[in-house]
Chains A and B, each alone.
Chain A
Amino acid sequence: MLKHLYDTDCVTWSPQGKLFQVEYAMEAVKQGSICLGLKSNENVVLCSLKRQPSELAGYQEKQFKIDDHMAIAIAGLTADARVLCKYMRTECLEYKYTYESHHPVGRLVFKVAEKSQHKTQSGAKRPYGVGLLVAGIDPNGVHLFETCPSGNYYEYKCQAIGSRSQAARTYFESWFHLFEKSTLEQLILHGLSALKKAIMEDEELNEKNVEVGILGKNQKFIHLNAQELKEYIQKLETFNANTQIQQE
């Protein structure tokens, strides 16, 4: 396929009906380190693997609180993610100022998707190079959404994006039927198990390179601290996915 003939900008279609610039933007998401989310009837959990650019550097955070009832995990260009994060936070603040209540989750994701789509229909713009996993709670229930550079958004029971996310998705396919009734602790352990499937052989999960955020109907968004992360990663050793309990 003579891709290079049709991939210069967003305003050129290929003969196969593809917008290559948008597809290339989705590739940028696949290059980011993995982040995943899963939800039960009461809670949503976001887990991500943080990258360390060098020995001297800190770990790049991948989860951001948007409001008490909403948070995102990012994969892709962090700078683009910051722009969307700021937009979402501003929208939530304005909604709270006007209505004194939380911004409905689906609606905000719709707005982000609209913004993203705008960038795919102009000669002078490029799409956002970041995919978001949006976790949120509103009167409609517990939500997990994924947004794409293309401007599409989907609601999920559980999803993983970023590099080697297929391994995590395979884990989810086997066990997602249990998630609805899982407790928060079981959900976190499932998330970390899925994350473990997606790391390289010589890597290991530790409290420095893992980020876990939790959100619940009665739980504002918080990150697990280093101590809690350590305990959960230890519990992983004996966690049986099928029975969802610790066993020796």
Chain B
Amino acid sequence: MIFNSEISGQQEHTTSPVVTGGSVIALVYNGGVLVGTDTLCSYGSMATFKNVQKIAQISKNTIYVSSGEFSDFQQVVRELAKIDRSALQYDDGVHPSPKDYGNYLARLSYKKRCKINPLYLQNVIAGFDNDKYLALVDIYGTYLESKFITTGFASYFCKAIISNYWNENCSLDQAKQVIRECFKVLFCRDCRAHDVIQLAYVDAQGTHIEEPERVETKWDFNGFKYRANEKLHTQ
């Protein structure tokens, strides 16, 4: 199947992802923006790469995370780093702001979508440039700035948790607890989720990417241990 294009002579485009990253949750808090993602890259339903850093720092005050095809994520990181590097040649000390990255990525995604060859990603750009910045760019190139963002399965499971326990003026610790709670639920319900997560936040002092941590989960329920509900049907 892979070499179809050589036989038919037509160019084939990516229409399904191969190695995928899971959900991303991003929240604005009183001092900046907090982003959380797990450290798993799945190969279909196989949990192949369990210790992947999926949070990229693309400038002093901007971070980029995405869910979807991981090779596309790596390519986007290279593209965005290119902008900052080429800014150096002008010698004027002006660097792209988080908003510049967000809009550039939106234009790039839209262009690729128009050629039916999308970047198979839901992208999240978070930054702090005089004020907090958080934006989602989806697979179609839609650009949305927001105070909280969820991608993938988190959009289904976690919005209720975020609505109930988070507001945009909460503290960093409160926001971290909300995200940890969300990933706990995701690990239980999303088949492609992992219990090791990584948090990163951007504030006025810059970017801080934390060490990966394991979410607390409880498995020693009686029902699990003793399988009280499962009776072997004999006879």
Contacts and interface: CB of A to CB of B under 8 A. Distances in A.
Contacts of B100: 99-101
A3 interface: no
A99, A107, A110 interface centre (most CB from chain B within 10 Å): A99
B90 A106 contact: yes
Given A98-B104, A99-B104, A140 B92 contact: yes
Contacts of A97: 107
A101 B96 CA distance: 10
Interface bracket on B: 10 to 19
A93 to B, nearest CB: 13
A107 B92 contact: yes
B92 A104 contact: yes
B9 interface: no
A138 interface: yes
A140 B94 contact: yes
B94 A99 contact: no
B94 A106 contact: yes
B103 interface: yes
Contact of B99 (A100, A104, A110): A100
* Ranked 5 nearest A-B pairs via Cβ: A100-B103, A106-B92, A99-B100, A104-B94, A107-B90
Given A99-B100, A101-B103, A106-B92, 13 more contacts: A98-B107, A99-B99, A99-B104, A100-B99, A100-B100, A104-B90, A106-B90, A107-B92, A107-B94, A110-B90, A110-B92, A139-B97, A140-B94
24 contacts: A98-B103, A98-B104, A98-B107, A99-B96, A99-B99, A99-B100, A99-B103, A99-B104, A100-B99, A100-B100, A101-B99, A101-B103, A104-B90, A104-B92, A104-B94, A106-B90, A106-B92, A106-B94, A107-B90, A107-B92, A110-B90, A110-B92, A138-B94, A140-B94
